[in-house]
Chains A and B, each alone.
Chain A
Amino acid sequence: MKIRVIKAYIYKELTELVRSRFIIMVFLLPSMILLLFGNGIRMEVSGARTLIVDHDRSPISYRLISKFEHSKYFNTQILPISEAEALGRIKQARTDVVIIIPESFEKRLLHGQTTQIGVFADAAFPSRGITMETYVKGVILDAASEFGHNQANGSITINQRTLFNQAMRDEDAIVPGLIGLVLLVAPAILAALLIVKEKERGTIFNFYASPLSKSEFLAAKLIPAFLLHSLNIFVVFLWAVYVFDVPFRGSFFLYWAASEIYLMISISIGMLISVITRTQIVAVVFTIIITIIPGFMYSGIIMPISSMSGMSQIEAHIFPVMYYNHIVYDVFLIGEGLESAKTLRYLLILLFYAIVLLSLGRLFLRKELK
């Protein structure tokens, strides 16, 4: 390895990045993804437009209705209309949930008889529909237990407490996962471009026809991408902690070290893509496809890996995103750090990935025309 050669290349790459203003993209892209997705993805439903048709108009039904009115999850409206009209409103997308309280609701309850409440939720988006349904159930059960409490003693009350994300904030659940996505996509694009740019332009001949070794060329191309995105590790951290108010409970050093290893993986993916592509546009599209999809699917943003099954479970274990995200979620929300054997194991797996992918790139990079 000739340090001078690598230095010359790095200086050249940085000069080109600055003069072509591509450097703006290097720092804009990760922050943009984080801000757009961090603010844009919402799993919880709040302010669901709820239409309540109360045929009973009794103290108990009012009490039930007031429970809905006081919840931030519902935006309640009480109308004296028929059931058919109410359902018509769901169809016209003027309301999301319809709750129908039948006549003699209170009377039957007081007599200890079974009674029913009609709940209709718009499930055009299934997950949203299920969520709204669950919320409604929760409110009704809550009201029922209160009511039961007054009636007789000894029924079960639930004393629940959520851990790690007590406030159940979406930001806490999503933003750490996004870091895994951002640090996969952006460095891979930059690394792929740095090599493919020379292929497309023709300047790759300077490498082909000179005594430069393959390792030197790779080092010269990957180090700038690595250094620039190392800064982004800090930038996205600041966004997460100070803009999205995600708690940080673990060791910063672990976060940093794991992220640097993860960076090596993503720039190696970019480098492997640059081996098979010839034009910048193809390289970018290809990189986005093969990084964003696994980065999103297996980041745990949409669905925890543990609840995946079969093929998707296997795929999740093949893509390195899962291992990194486990560590990121740990340092942000839990703080176990290396005391957890799993975290340590995942860190070693990441390191293994980095070494294997780098070696593959070195193996497949050709120093000749195709």
Chain B
Amino acid sequence: MDTLKIDRVSVRYHQHTAIRDASFSARAGEIIGFIGADGAGKSSLMHAIAGVGAFDGSIRFHNTLYRSPAEAEPIKSMTALMPQGIGLVLYDMLTVQEHLNFFADIRNINKDASFIAYQQRLLQMAGLEKFTDRRAGNLSGGMMQKLSLICTLLHRPKLLILDEPTTGVDPLSRIELWDILDQIRTQEGTIILVSTAYMQEAARMDRLLLFDEGEIIALGSTEELIDSVRPMTYVLSQQTDGITTRDATYSIKPLDFAHTEPTLEALFFVNALKKGRSLPPITLSTHHEDYVRDSVIMEARGLTKRFDGFIANDCVDIRLKRGEILGLLGANGAGKTTFIKMLLGLHPIDGGELELLGRLIQNTSDRQTLKASIGYVSQHFALYNDMTVRENLLYFAAMRSIPFEKAVDKTLLYATELGFDIYLDELPLNLPLGINQRFSLAAALLHDPVVLFLDEPTSGVDAIARAQFWQLLIALKEKWGISILITTHYMSEAEFCDRIVLLRDGKKVADDTLEELYALHPNAVNFEDIFLEYYR
């Protein structure tokens, strides 16, 4: 008999339906993965099951049937919820040990010898046993998530609900988190519901639920789901009908090409095709401006940044050439963002030399003259949600003191080439994420920079939007000769970069092209394996 049964659950916020008629069931010890774009209804369903949000329909867990959060009270001693967001349930001011005490107390756990032993084991699994005196606010993102997880595990829940526990967490911490989960479910027979944005993780689940626009559109094991999209997956071709990504073409109409082995990501592309949701194509025209392909755009020599007590960047040497995409990778706290902020002049440089466009940066006036050649897109697109796309772009143009007529022409040109001209008079909030990304990039490109700095632009973005974003970046590089420095924590995105710099604890540990890195690590199947080689 199924331990958990979800029967036609819907969650509504005012007029908007977050999830409609969701039904599924789970057995003890099963891990079920929730995958889907942001806003597809994963979190809402999780909140309903955890009994923290109102819903319609009914849920049964063991022998308790509940239709509202109030009726769910009896199951809360057996369940645990880890909401989305790093360290969301932690108190910055409390230490690791104080968290464990607090959660044990509010769950009224008997602190006997077996609990102490269990707690110690959890600390060891999370690698936190040496940090029991450290305050949560001073932990890295990965450590915070591991602490959150072991705090929710203290009362040995029978139903564990984890909302994107690994998003934004470095690969090593992710692996450790998964090891903890695997142990817990085999030892305790816990049902684990977990949502994730990483498809490699999705493959580890027993079953997957695919969410789209408030509905569960597919349910099954990884193999079953992949089988379902195999007929629509073809080898890479120049077919314009379907969606073409880096390694495959998807089409619901039969094509004359050979099939290829799909990945889980294919589910999203095929679904988008079925719903007729493909975005307008990108048609960049080639800039005929002459440039020396291998000229150096940015050169950092021994760049160092110290914060009180620790060194965020320790003698980092990085060189970015014209028309090159350089990926800056590393775990949380490795110093990626600090480095970008030094390049932009948001942090003063504590040591070393920085040369931008052949000019040594010594003071703010050096920067001021270079601002016109640099574009920057921050982690959260800095768009004004109450202005239309056109107004946003004209505003950014005005900030860069581009003459109004020129700005109008340029906005129209970029909108046409980047395929968002039909959305120019819409508000950003009403647009698909992929379109918002395009026009944020357009805003950063209005003043014709030769180099773009992008700080985790794809964080929290779904597979389709990510794939399209990278297509655009590659087009910018190839057609316009723009150099791009990008940080990301999706290891799979390293495959799109020409050159990769790996940071660890503020130091550069690798700096090579993708091919050279694969040659150095012949056993690596994907870039994540290479990353782990440097981090182990």
Q: Is A151 an interface residue (CB 8 A)?
A: no
Q: Is A369 an interface residue (CB 8 A)?
A: yes
B105 contact from A7, A20, A367, Cβ within 8 A? A7
Q: Is the CB of A205 within 8 A of B73?
A: no
Q: Is the CB of B81 within 8 A of A201?
A: no
In angstroms, how far is the closest chain B Cβ from the Cβ of A11?
Answer: 8
**Interface contact tally, CB-CB below 8 A:** 78
In angstroms, how far is the closest chain A Cβ from the Cβ of B508?
Answer: 35
Given contacts A210-B76, A368-B52, A368-B69, contact A205 B88 (CB under 8 A): yes
Q: Is the CB of B81 within 8 A of A211?
A: no
Contacts of B101 in A (CB 8 A): 8
Q: Is A108 an interface residue (CB 8 A)?
A: no
Bound complex: CA A8 to CA B105 (Å): 6
Contacts of A16 in B (CB 8 A): 91, 93-94
Bound complex: CA A19 to CA B73 (Å): 33
Given contacts A20-B93, A209-B79, contact A5 B88 (CB under 8 A): no
Contacts of B83 in A (CB 8 A): 202, 205
Q: Is the CB of B106 within 8 A of A8?
A: yes
Q: Is the CB of B89 within 8 A of A205?
A: yes
Q: Is the CB of B77 within 8 A of A211?
A: yes
Q: Is the CB of B107 within 8 A of A210?
A: yes
Bound complex: CA A190 to CA B88 (Å): 22
Interface size on B, residues (CB 8 A): 31
Q: Is the CB of A203 within 8 A of B89?
A: yes
Interface residue tally on A, bucketed by range:
20 to 34
Q: Is B51 an interface residue (CB 8 A)?
A: yes
The interface bits of chain B over 54-96 (1 if a CB of A lies within 8 angstroms of the residue's CB, else 0) are: 1000000000000001100100110111010100111101100
Contacts of B102 in A (CB 8 A): 8-9, 11-12
Bound complex: CA A5 to CA B77 (Å): 14
The interface bits of chain A over 194-214 (1 if a CB of B lies within 8 angstroms of the residue's CB, else 0) are: 000000011101101111100
Contacts of A208 in B (CB 8 A): 50-52, 69, 81
Q: Is A2 an interface residue (CB 8 A)?
A: yes
Bound complex: CA A8 to CA B151 (Å): 15
Q: Is A15 an interface residue (CB 8 A)?
A: yes
Q: Is A111 an interface residue (CB 8 A)?
A: no
Given contacts A5-B106, A8-B102, contact A369 B88 (CB under 8 A): no
Within 8 A of A (CB), among B93-151: 93-94, 98, 101-103, 105-108, 135
In angstroms, how far is the closest chain B Cβ from the Cβ of A219?
Answer: 13
Q: Is A4 an interface residue (CB 8 A)?
A: yes
Within 8 A of B (CB), among A348-368: 367-368
Using CB atoms, name the residue of chain B closest to A197: B91
Bound complex: CA A5 to CA B101 (Å): 11
Specify the main secondary structure of chain A where it touches its partner.
helix
Q: Is the CB of A368 within 8 A of B53?
A: yes
Bound complex: CA A213 to CA B222 (Å): 40
Q: Is the CB of B93 within 8 A of A201?
A: no
Within 8 A of B (CB), among A1-54: 2, 4-5, 7-9, 11-12, 15-16, 19-20
Contacts of A7 in B (CB 8 A): 105
Bound complex: CA A100 to CA B90 (Å): 75
Given contacts A12-B91, A208-B52, contact A202 B106 (CB under 8 A): no
Bound complex: CA A8 to CA B99 (Å): 10
Q: Is B42 an interface residue (CB 8 A)?
A: no
Within 8 A of A (CB), among B263-315: none
Q: Is the CB of B105 within 8 A of A4?
A: yes
Q: Is B47 an interface residue (CB 8 A)?
A: yes
Bound complex: CA A72 to CA B93 (Å): 56
Q: Is the CB of B73 within 8 A of A206?
A: no
Q: Is the CB of A15 within 8 A of B80?
A: no
B106 contact from A19, A20, A212, Cβ within 8 A? A212
The interface bits of chain A over 176-202 (1 if a CB of B lies within 8 angstroms of the residue's CB, else 0) are: 000000000000000000000000011
Q: Is the CB of B98 within 8 A of A211?
A: no
Q: Is the CB of B52 within 8 A of A369?
A: yes
Contacts of B54 in A (CB 8 A): 368-369
Given contacts A7-B105, A8-B105, contact A211 B73 (CB under 8 A): yes
Bound complex: CA A367 to CA B77 (Å): 15
Bound complex: CA A205 to CA B163 (Å): 12
Contacts of B81 in A (CB 8 A): 205, 208-209
Bound complex: CA A85 to CA B247 (Å): 95
In angstroms, how far is the closest chain A Cβ from the Cβ of B39?
Answer: 16
Among B70, B73, B106, find the residue whose CB has the most chain A CB atoms closer than 10 A.
Answer: B106
Contacts of B80 in A (CB 8 A): 209
Given contacts A205-B52, A368-B53, contact A9 B106 (CB under 8 A): yes
Q: Is the CB of A209 within 8 A of B105?
A: no
A210 contact from B85, B93, B106, Cβ within 8 A? B106
Q: Is the CB of B53 within 8 A of A15?
A: no
Contacts of A203 in B (CB 8 A): 88-91
Bound complex: CA A93 to CA B70 (Å): 68
Using CB atoms, name the residue of chain B closest to A4: B105
Bound complex: CA A4 to CA B107 (Å): 10
Contacts of B69 in A (CB 8 A): 208, 367-368
Bound complex: CA A210 to CA B89 (Å): 12
In angstroms, how far is the closest chain A Cβ from the Cβ of B141?
Answer: 14
Contacts of A12 in B (CB 8 A): 91, 94, 98, 102
Contacts of A8 in B (CB 8 A): 101-102, 105-106
Q: Is the CB of A202 within 8 A of B85?
A: yes
B47 contact from A201, A212, A369, Cβ within 8 A? A369
Q: Is the CB of B76 within 8 A of A15?
A: no
Bound complex: CA A73 to CA B101 (Å): 65
Contacts of A368 in B (CB 8 A): 51-54, 69
In angstroms, how far is the closest chain B Cβ from the Cβ of A364?
Answer: 14
Given contacts A209-B76, A212-B106, contact A202 B88 (CB under 8 A): yes
Q: Is the CB of A15 within 8 A of B98?
A: yes
Contacts of B89 in A (CB 8 A): 202-203, 205-206
Using CB atoms, name the residue of chain A closest to B73: A211
Contacts of A210 in B (CB 8 A): 76, 106-107
Among B77, B80, B108, find the residue whose CB has the most chain A CB atoms closer than 10 A.
Answer: B108
Contacts of A19 in B (CB 8 A): 93, 135
Using CB atoms, name the residue of chain B closest to A205: B83
Q: Is the CB of A15 within 8 A of B106?
A: no
Contacts of B51 in A (CB 8 A): 208-209, 368
Q: Is the CB of B93 within 8 A of A209?
A: no
Using CB atoms, name the residue of chain B closest to A12: B102
Bound complex: CA A206 to CA B93 (Å): 16
Contacts of B77 in A (CB 8 A): 211
Contacts of B105 in A (CB 8 A): 4-5, 7-8
Within 8 A of B (CB), among A202-235: 202-203, 205-206, 208-212
The interface bits of chain A over 92-122 (1 if a CB of B lies within 8 angstroms of the residue's CB, else 0) are: 0000000000000000000000000000000
Among A20, A202, A368, find the residue whose CB has the most chain B CB atoms closer than 10 A.
Answer: A368
In angstroms, how far is the closest chain A Cβ from the Cβ of B104?
Answer: 8
Using CB atoms, name the residue of chain A closest to B103: A206
Q: Is the CB of B50 within 8 A of A209?
A: yes
In the A-B complex, the 8 residue pairs with the smallest Cβ-Cβ separation, listed nearest first, are A8-B105, A202-B88, A208-B52, A368-B69, A209-B81, A19-B93, A369-B53, A211-B76
24 contacts between A and B (CB under 8 A): A7-B105, A11-B102, A15-B94, A15-B98, A16-B93, A201-B88, A202-B83, A202-B89, A203-B91, A206-B89, A206-B103, A206-B106, A209-B51, A210-B76, A210-B107, A211-B73, A211-B108, A367-B52, A367-B69, A367-B70, A368-B52, A369-B47, A369-B52, A369-B53
Q: A205-B81, A209-B52, A369-B54 are in contact. List 15 more A-B contacts (CB 8 A).
A: A5-B106, A7-B105, A8-B105, A8-B106, A20-B93, A202-B88, A205-B88, A205-B89, A208-B51, A209-B76, A209-B79, A211-B77, A211-B108, A368-B51, A368-B69
